[in-house]
Structure 1
Amino acid sequence: MSISPPDGCLVTVLMGSESDWGVMKHTSDTLKSFGIAHDCRVLSAHRTPEAASSYIAGSEEKGVEVMIAAAGGAAHLAGVVAAHTTMPVLGVPMVAWSLDGLDSLLSTVQMPRGIPVGTLAIGKAGAINAALLAVSILANKRPELKTQLKEYREQQKEKILATKLDF
């Protein structure tokens, strides 16, 4: 089965199971807010290895520039993706059935020398930051994205500075 992202896609968002979508939707929403064409798909490193390999190859052929991979438990998806491509791979560890995601974090971050995965925080913060890091990578060649990213950070700053505490 040969699968690949749609034409014009710059970022792919892969997850090991459908249960990861509740968190990874934040990645998609963040990419959408920057107008980044992306594809989201469930592919398992263990249950669909051939389809994952085909999708990664298709991503390279279609000009994808960043791949984001999220998984819980054994969490090998980001590593498998990184083993099949030289483009940047960002890993998002997910909370699974044990250790509150620590097992996923260690599986994602402890890659052998030569097969890097940029690993983000566990869960929602990591999902959002993966999208923002992808935007940062893309912004190196796209001045309009760099401007948007600066505006995003300025809005964050203004929101924090406007915080009023009742005490």
Structure 2
Amino acid sequence: MADAPLVGIIMGSKSDLPAMEACTKQLDEFGVPYELVIASAHRNPAKVHEWASTAADRGIKVIIAAAGKAAHLGGVVAAYTPLPIVGVPMKTSDLGGMDSLLSMVQMPSGVPVACVAIGGAKNAAIYATQILGATTPEWRQVIVDFKRSMAEA
């Protein structure tokens, strides 16, 4: 379908990579091209700003942001782009991910971040593909076929 990345995946730490494998694996299975970057909203805000503010110009259509603890990454990215953001709260050792979840769903008015379950990386990939399918019939068909295969399993 397309070779240029349509989905941007950003995570706050390398330690999030194993949990986000379910996301990249699902996007790979769907054939959705993506780019992946690691940048913390707190440790490297300039990199987050640069990446997020140029995402739409690079052809990205939807962003998946994964973070734990304070989990401000999705909201910070949302502040710098008009693109839809899907937040993935990471499970944490402190509060099991409830801290991440609450940080993501308590966004101020005007800066929305859609949020999947704690560790819901696979659902983030599915939802991002559904967003693509809202305007592109090929991606919509990918989701129709996926749902059909789930019903037949």
Partner SS state of residue 22, structure 1: helix
The answer to whether the Cα contact below 8 Å between 2:78 and 2:111 also exists between their aligned partners in 1 is yes
Partner of 1:134: 128
Partner of 2:48: 52
Shift of residue 99 of structure 1? 1.1
Q: Which runs of 5+ in 1 are unaligned?
A: 1-6, 160-167
What whole-Å deviation, never above 9, does each CA across 1:82-131 have from its counterpart, x for those lacking one?
Answer: 111111001000011211100000001100000000011001xx111111
128, 140, 144: which one aligns with 1:150: 144
The answer to whether the Cα contact below 8 Å between 2:23 and 2:121 also exists between their aligned partners in 1 is yes
The normalised TM-score by structure 1 is 0.87
RMSD value, Cα: 1.1
Bigger Rg over Cα: 1
Q: Does 1:104 align with 2:100?
A: yes
Partner SS state of residue 73, structure 1: coil
The answer to whether the Cα contact below 8 Å between 2:55 and 2:81 also exists between their aligned partners in 1 is no
Tell me the amino acid that sits aligned with residue 128 of structure 2. Answer: A
Distance in 1, matches of 2:141 and 2:46, equals 39
What whole-Å deviation, never above 9, does each CA across 1:124-157 have from its counterpart, x for those lacking one?
Answer: xx11111111100101222122112111111111
Distance in 1, matches of 2:32 and 2:68, equals 25
The answer to whether the Cα contact below 8 Å between 1:73 and 1:97 also exists between their aligned partners in 2 is no
Partner of 1:162: none
Count of aligned pairs between the two proteins: 151
Partner of 2:76: 80
Residue identity over aligned pairs, in percent, reads: 44
What whole-Å deviation, never above 9, does each CA across 1:47-84 have from its counterpart, x for those lacking one?
Answer: 01001101112212112110100000011000100111
> Relative to structure 2, which stretch is displaced further, 25-34 or 109-118?
25-34
The normalised TM-score by structure 2 is 0.95
Partner of 1:14: 10
4, 9, 21: which one aligns with 1:25: 21
Shift of residue 40 of structure 1? 1.1
Distance in 1, matches of 2:101 and 2:53, equals 26
Structure 1 residue ranges, 4+ long, deviating more than 2 angstroms after superposition? none
Q: Which runs of 5+ in 2 are unaligned?
A: none
